[in-house]
Amino acid sequence: MKKATLRKLNLSIIFLVLFTFTPTALIHSTAQAAMVDSQMIDTGENASTLREINEIKVRRALENKIVAEKLKGHGLTAEEVSEKLATMTDDQVHQIASLTDRIPAGGNGAVGIVVAILVIVALVLLIVYLWKRV
């Protein structure tokens, strides 16, 4: 008899929590978006010409892990690309700098996927634990 009343109490607490927090989860705010500057250029750099700005963007792109791996795949190093950059025309440097805007700022997103999987596993374990207690 006591086990049945304890189970009813646990179920009523679970439903009370669900009914309390479900409506608050449905409240949302509007999304806001805006244009931002390129993340490849730090505002602290002293660049006076367009070519210098483009060279800074290319150097920052060379520091990216994805770009470094692609260069290794083609048999190039960052030093070789920097040397070649000095001999390029302004238009060629600008063309390469415009390609750097396509590089994702956060990497390849593998960390986000791992975190999402860990959160899902934790939720499943929590549900199974609560289900066994009830």
Closest C-alpha among 76, 68, 40 to residue 55:
40
Domain identity same for 54 and 97: yes
* Domain-embedded: residue 66: yes
* Domain-embedded: residue 31: no
Q: What pTM value is reported for the model?
A: 0.43
Instruction: State the residue for tokens 């791996």.
Output: 69
Q: How many domains does the chain have?
A: 2
pLDDT at 43: 46
* Domain-embedded: residue 114: yes
What is the mean pLDDT of each successive set of 10 residues along the chain, which is 134 residues long? 82 86 77 64 61 80 74 78 79 79 62 75 82 79
Domain hosting 126: range is 110-134
Domain identity same for 114 and 91: no
Burial of 61: CB neighbours in 10 Å, binned 0-12, 13-18, 19+: buried
pLDDT at 111: 65
* Domain-embedded: residue 39: no
* Domain-embedded: residue 91: yes
